[in-house]
Chain A
Amino acid sequence: MLKGKVFKYGSNVDTDAIIPARYLNVSEPSELAKHCMEDIDLEFVRKVNHGDILVATTNFGCGSSREHAPIAIKAAGVSAVVAKSFARIFFRNAINIGLPLLESPETVDNTDAGDILEISLETGIISNVTKGKIFKAKPYPKFMSDIISSGGLVEYTKKKIAGRAP
C-alpha cells in the first residue's frame, strides 16, 4: 500500500519542467532528484517527503524521451503519479523503471494539494483519506502488469533471455 501527501499540478507538465536539460550531463538518480520540478515549483524538492504522490491533469510528462524524468521523480521519493492522462514515452519509461502511474480522472478532480492518498497497486483502488472518497484507476493491460510484476523491463527481459518469460 502506498500512502503520501499530494503535490498537485496542471496539464502538460513537460519533461523539461520535471528535469531541465541543463542537468542532463549526469544520470545519477540522486543528482537528478535535487532538481526535480525546479522550473515550475522551486519548493518541491525541499517539501517532498518519501512516499508522497504527484497528481496532475492531462498529458503528464509530455516532450522529450529523457528517462531522467521518471528517475528524478522516483529518486525524489515520490511513490506514484496519478493523472487524467500521460504522454506516451513518459508512460513507457515510468513502467520500465518501476515508477507506478495511475490514470484516474475522478481522483484528480476530487483531490487537492496537501490531501493524503492511499493507493493499492494490486487493486487500483485510490483512497483520498483526507476527503473520505474512494476511486478506481484504469487497470493496466496484462502485458504491462507482467513488466511491473517482474520489477521493470530489465528484470522482465532477463527472464525472457533466460527463456522463462510468459
Chain B
Amino acid sequence: MTLAEKILAAHSDKKSLSPGDFINVRPDLILSNDITAPIAIKEFRKLGVKKVLDPGKIVMVPDHFVPNKDIASAEQAKMLREFAQEQGIIYFECGQMGIEHVLLHEQGLALPGDVIIGADSHTCTYGALGAFATGMGSTDIATAMATGEIWMKVPPTMRFVYHGKPGKWVGGKDLILYTIGRIGVDGALYAAMEFTGEAIDNLSMDGRFTMSNMAIEAGGKAGMFRADGKTLEYVSTRAKRPYTVHELGPESECASVTEYDISKLEPQVAAPHLPSNVKPVSALSGVKIDQVVIGSCTNGRLEDLRLAASVIKGHKVAPYVRCIVIPGSQQVYLDAMAEGIVETFIRSGCAFSTPTCGPCLGGHMGILAAGERAVSTTNRNFVGRMGSPKSEVYLANPAVAAASAVLGRIANPDEV
C-alpha cells in the first residue's frame, strides 16, 4: 500500500484497501474557519445531537475575515466563539490565532500519520508531515463533528520525483508551481500527490508545507511527504499526543510516477488567471505591478519572511507600490520580531500586519482596484481573487515577491 492507503486503512475498519474503495474514516482532527464553520454549525444543529463526539479533535480558527472586517463577519466570528465555548472544542481567539494552516502544525495539533479533514481546501497543507489531510465542505464537517466519522473514496497515488540541486532562489513554491504548470489545474484530480526525490530530501519543512498546500491547485485530494528526520525534528518538540510514522518500501506501488530535474529551474511565476499558467520569472520581468503580498497559508512562515527580508533589506519599496507583509501566526510574528525581520520590512516601506488570510481571497487588508496588478506569495490567481474582477494576480515565491516590490515590476531576486 502507498502512504495514503496505509494511513486511511489505519483509520478505518479495513486491513487493506485500494483506490476507488468507499470507506468510513475516523479523523484525528476536524477543522473549520470563520467562513465555513457558520454553515457547519447550522447543519450540526439539524442533526439532532447536542454535543460533538470528541471536542479534543475539533478545531475552529477564525482567520479569514478576522480581525472582523465588518458587522457581518463579526456575526460569523461570534457564532464560532459561542459554539466553541458551548462545546469545549479547541479554539484560537484573535490574538492567539494564526492562519489555520500555519498554526495547527506549529502548535503540535497536526502530526505524522494523522487523518485531518477541514472545511478549507488548503487543509492538504498537513500532508507535509506525512499525514493524510484533505479539504471538504461544511456539511461534511458537521457530520464528522457529530459522529467522529467521514466517508472517503480512496484516491490513487501519483508520485512526483524531483532530482537535482535547486538554484539559489528556487524553493518549494517554485517546485509546486512548476508541477502545476506541467500537469494543469486538474492534473491530479481526486489523487493523492506524493512528493519524493533528493531535492525533496533537502527541502526544509517550511518548503514542504508550501508544496503540500498547493496540491489542491492541481485538483489533488492530498499532497504528501514521507516523514523523515526533518519531520521528526519538527514534531518532536511540538507534539501533544503520540503519532505514527508508517514504514514504506522505497517503491510502493502507485498509479503514476513523474520525474523532474530541477537543477536548472528558474523561479516560477503563475500569470493570471490560473495557477497552472506558469512561466519562468525571466519571461515576465518587466510586468509593472501595484501591490505585493507576502504571507498566507502558502508562504507565511518564518523561512518565507526571512527570505523576503534578505532580498528587501537595505532597499525601499518602489514609489507608488504597496508591499503588505502578513506573518502566518503570532509565533511567526514574534520570531520575526526577535530576528529583526519586522523592522527590516517596516524600514523598507512595507506594511506589516497581524495574522489573517486577508487579501489572499479578496477579504480585506489589501484589496485590488480595477486594472491593478499584484505579485503575491499566495495560492490562487483566479478572476477577482484579490479584489476587482478586472485586477490581476501573479503567484510567486517570497524572494521574487520582495524583489518585485523593490523594482515595481516582476523581477528576479538577482536584479536587486
List residues of chain A with CB under 8 Å of any chain B CB. Answer: 12, 14, 16-17, 20-22, 24-27, 38-40, 58-59, 62-68, 71, 85, 87-89, 92-93, 96-97, 141, 143, 152-154, 157-158, 160-161
Chain B residues positioned under 8 Å from A16 (CB to CB): 361-362, 380, 382-385
The answer to whether B47 has its CB under 8 Å from any CB of chain A is yes
Beta-carbon contact of B139 and A153 below 8 Å: yes
Q: Which of A71, A92, A154, A160 contacts B142 (CB 8 A)?
A: A154
Report if B147 contacts A (CB, 8 A): yes
CA separation between A24 and B352, bound complex, in Å?
A: 25
Query: In the complex, how many angstroms separate the beta carbon of B117 from the nearest chain A beta carbon?
Result: 10
Question: Are B147 and A14 interface neighbours, CB within 8 A?
Answer: no
Not counting A17-B382, A68-B35, A96-B139, a sample of 10 additional A-B residue pairs whose C-beta atoms are within 8 angstroms of each other reads: A12-B186, A27-B38, A63-B121, A64-B121, A65-B135, A66-B36, A87-B186, A88-B221, A89-B121, A157-B146
In whole angstroms, how far apart are the Cα atoms of A164 and B415 in the complex? 66
Interface string of B118-140 (1 = CB under 8 A from A): 11110100000000000111111
Contact B185 A59 (CB under 8 A): yes
Distance in angstroms from B186 CB to nearest chain A CB is: 4
Shortest Cβ gap from B14 to chain A (Å): 14
B76 at the interface (CB under 8 A from A): yes
Cβ–Cβ < 8 Å partners of B362 in chain A: 16, 20-22
Q: Closest B-chain residue to A91, C-beta based?
A: B190
Contact B120–A65 (Cβ < 8 Å)? yes
Verify B143–A58 contact, CB threshold 8 A: no
Q: Which 7 A-B pairs have the closest CB atoms?
A: A93-B137, A25-B72, A39-B384, A59-B186, A39-B389, A21-B361, A67-B137
Q: Within the complex, what minimum Cβ distance (angstroms) separates A38 from chain B?
A: 8
Q: How far is the CA of A85 from the CA of B123 in the complex (A)?
A: 22
Interface centre among B48, B137, B362 (most CB of A within 10 A): B137
Interface of B is mostly: loop
Please pick, from B39, B48, B274, the residue contacting A67 in the complex, using a CB distance under 8 A: B39
**Among candidates B70, B147, B389, residue contacting A160 with C-beta atoms closer than 8 Å:** B147
Sampled A-B contacts (25; CB under 8 Å): A16-B383, A17-B382, A17-B384, A21-B64, A21-B362, A27-B42, A58-B186, A59-B186, A59-B219, A62-B185, A62-B186, A63-B216, A64-B380, A66-B35, A66-B36, A89-B136, A89-B137, A93-B138, A96-B137, A143-B22, A143-B151, A152-B139, A153-B143, A157-B147, A158-B46
Which residues on the A side are within 8 Å of B140 (C-beta)?
A: 92-93, 96, 153
- Please give the distance in Å from B307's CB to the nearest CB on chain A: 27
Q: How many residues of B contact A (CB 8 A)?
A: 53
* A12-B190 Cα distance, complex, nearest whole Å: 15
Q: Give the distance in Å from the alpha carbon of A89 to the alpha carbon of B151 in the complex.
A: 13
Nearest Cβ on chain B to A55's Cβ, whole angstroms: 17
Within the complex, which residue of B135, B186, B363 is in contact with A21, where a contact is CB–CB below 8 Å? B363
For the complex formed, measure the closest distance between the CB of B173 and the CB atoms of chain A, giving whole angstroms.
Answer: 18
Given contacts A152-B139, A154-B142, contact A67 B72 (CB under 8 A): no
CB-CB under 8 A from A40, the residues of chain B are: 383, 389
Indicate whether A158 sits within 8 Å of B47 (C-beta atoms), given known contacts A16-B383, A64-B361: yes
Q: Return chain A residues, CB-CB under 8 Å to B135.
A: 65, 89
Within 8 A of A (CB), among B164-186: 185-186
List B residues 336-393 near A (Cβ within 8 Å). Answer: 361-363, 367, 380, 382-385, 387, 389
Q: CB < 8 Å: which of A68, A143, A152, A158 contacts B39?
A: A68
Map CB proximity to A onto B58-79 as digits: 1 under 8 Å, 0 otherwise: 0000001100011011001000
Q: Which chain B positions have C-beta within 8 A of A39? A: 383-384, 389
Contact across chains for A65 and B136 when beta carbons are under 8 A apart: yes
Minimum C-beta distance from B88 to chain A (A): 20
Contacts of B185 in A (CB 8 A): 12, 59, 62
Q: How far is the CA of A65 from the CA of B380 in the complex (A)?
A: 13
* B382 contacts across to A, CB distance below 8 A: 14, 16-17, 63
Identify which of A38, A87, A154 contacts B189 (C-beta below 8 A). Answer: A87
The answer to whether A161 and B47 touch (CB under 8 A), given A25-B69, A85-B186, is yes
Given A157-B47, A157-B143, CB of A65 within 8 Å of CB of B384: no
Q: Which residues of A contact B221 (CB under 8 A)?
A: 88
Pick the contact of A65 from B38, B42, B72, B137 — CB < 8 Å?
Answer: B137
The answer to whether A154 and B43 touch (CB under 8 A), given A62-B219, A92-B140, is yes
Q: How far is the CB of A40 from chain B (nearest CB, A)?
A: 6
User: A17 — which chain B residues lie within 8 A by C-beta?
Assistant: 382-384
Q: Give complex CA distance A21, B120 in Å.
A: 13
CA distance A26 to B367 in the complex (A): 19
Chain B positions within 8 Å of A161 at CB level: 47-49, 146-147
Known: A64-B121, A93-B137. A24 touches B189 (CB 8 A): no
Bound CA–CA A40/B385 (angstroms): 12
A112 to B: closest C-beta gap in Å: 23
Task: Kindly state the separation between the CA atoms of A64 and B36 in the bound complex, as whole angstroms.
Answer: 11
Kindly report which residue of chain A lies nearest to residue B220, judged by CB atoms.
Answer: A88
